[in-house]
Amino acid sequence: MTSAEADAILKTAADNYTATCYSGDRKMPVMRAVSTVARRALLTPDCGCLPQVIAVRGISFSPRQVVASDASFHSVSFSETDHPKVLITGGLGQLGVGLAKMLRKRFGKNNVILSDIRKPASHVFCSGPFIYSDILDYKNLREIVVNNRITWLVHYSALLSAVGEANVPLAREVNITGFHNILDIAVEHGLRLFVPSTIGAFGATSPRNPTPDLCVQRPRTIYGVSKVHAELMGEYYHHKYGLDFRCLRYPGIISADSQPGGGTTDYAVQIFHDAVKTGRFECNLKPDTRLPMMYIEDCLRATLEVMEAPADTLAMRTYNISAMSFTPEELACEVQKQLPDLQVTYNIDPVRQAIADSWPMNFDDSNARRDWGWKHEYDLPELVQTMLGSLGSDSRVAHTS
């Protein structure tokens, strides 16, 4: 088709369309965009060669639509279409940033969108797509899923154990109501949904040493109750509607990249920060309180592995995973092998201690190891060396600066 013929066709289409698309004497911007794309399509050579690929942003009229400067969130090149499109809610917590980094390396930078209701740090914002997402706003969530063609949803938004006990109404709203929004959207749009659970999903009447996948669950925190609710609702939606729901019960997660966020197991993160900065650590749990723990790299890898596992290998939809189990005293002794001058004292927080006393001492994760090949890489000595190496390097840089 010649340029003159293309112009004639576009003029006729424009005359018919703009009768309803004028505002005063100016065409709507969408008409200009459609005309440009149509013109390039009409001028495709007869030889069948493909025209230049143009990333086109989806159009939505919601007042919460992403601003024009964020249009890259909606752009997908053909080379990326074989990969899942992932949305991570609550992405600025302990796990979201690390998981986004891992998934972007595997699936491509623009295929993984980090989201939260907080403003991200500059390095997080510049590392890949970030978008505002409020899990209590159902319409906003649907818009994000549709406009970005999301296929996997990783739902990390939640208030943790100690923080949740301090504000039960908010924890109920975020952890339960927000989860229901996620659940319904995942069913509606056929998403693969990952929701983490926790050692807090068990209670004082559960077997504690070890704790199997299936046993009595009677948690006494709103965090634990909300996680049991999520496990059961996810499994129900899987059997009722075919939702591809996947869930791992995380132990305490230890990471050098984030500050403690209000969890009962956070002492196992705080000790490393305090050991490097001050050489003194005050623990809020009893020295003999044994809990299952895991280094963040193992946790993130387990999450990716269970999401990629073929559905027919999953005998259940919620699995325990574990790596090691230790007490504050055992952790302190291992740290003191590297930093002999570390001083450790104990000032017991009765709320956190009561929570810890109701949680498993060891996880039985044999089903995960059998069904989809779970295997941890970090034990306590490797954990301590890795954490001190990471934080020690950061500390030296800070002092030099």
Whichever domain contains 193, its CATH number is: 3.40.50.720
Give tens-digit pLDDT for 12-27: 544 544 443 333 443 3
Among the ranges given (19-28, 89-98, 315-324, 374-383), the one the predictor scored with the smallest mean pLDDT: 19-28
Q: Has residue 185 been placed in a domain?
A: yes
Q: Is residue 128 part of a domain?
A: no
Structural domain count of the chain: 2
Q: Which two tokens stand for residue 334?
A: 């291992």
Position 398 pLDDT exceeds 90: no
Q: Both 333 and 203 in a single domain?
A: yes
pLDDT in tens, 334-381: 999 999 999 999 999 998 999 899 999 999 999 999 999 999 999 999
Would residue 120 count as lying in a domain?
no
Predicted TM-score (pTM) of this structure: 0.77
Q: What is the pLDDT of residue 309?
A: 97
The answer to the question of residue 341 being in a domain is: yes
223 catalytic? Reply is yes
pLDDT tens, position by position, 150-209: 999 999 999 988 888 899 999 999 999 999 999 999 999 999 999 999 999 999 999 999
Q: Is 114 domain-assigned?
A: no
Reported for 167-175, long-range contacts at CB under 8 A and 24+ positions apart, including other chains, are 168/222, 171/222, 171/223, 171/226, 172/222, 172/226, 173/136, 174/135, 174/136, 175/222, 175/223, 175/226, 175/227, 175/230
Active-site choice (223, 250, 267, 378): 223
User: Does 173 lie in the same domain as 38?
Assistant: no
Mean pLDDT of the chain: 83
Chain segment 270-311, per-residue pLDDT in tens: 999 999 999 999 999 999 999 999 999 999 999 999 999 999
Clarify whether residues 162 and 306 are in a common domain: yes
Label the pairing between strands 324-326 and 291-295: antiparallel
- Residue 265 domain flag: yes
Please list the helix, strand and coil fractions of the chain in percent, rounded to the nearest 5, in that order: 50, 15, 35
pLDDT above 90 for 223: yes
pLDDT score of 246 more than 80: yes
Which of 161-175, 223-237, 385-399 is least confident?
385-399
How far apart, in whole angstroms, are the C-alpha atoms of residue 290 and residue 359?
Answer: 9
59 domain residue, yes or no: no
Boundaries of domain holding 23: 3-42
Residue 301 lies in a domain: yes
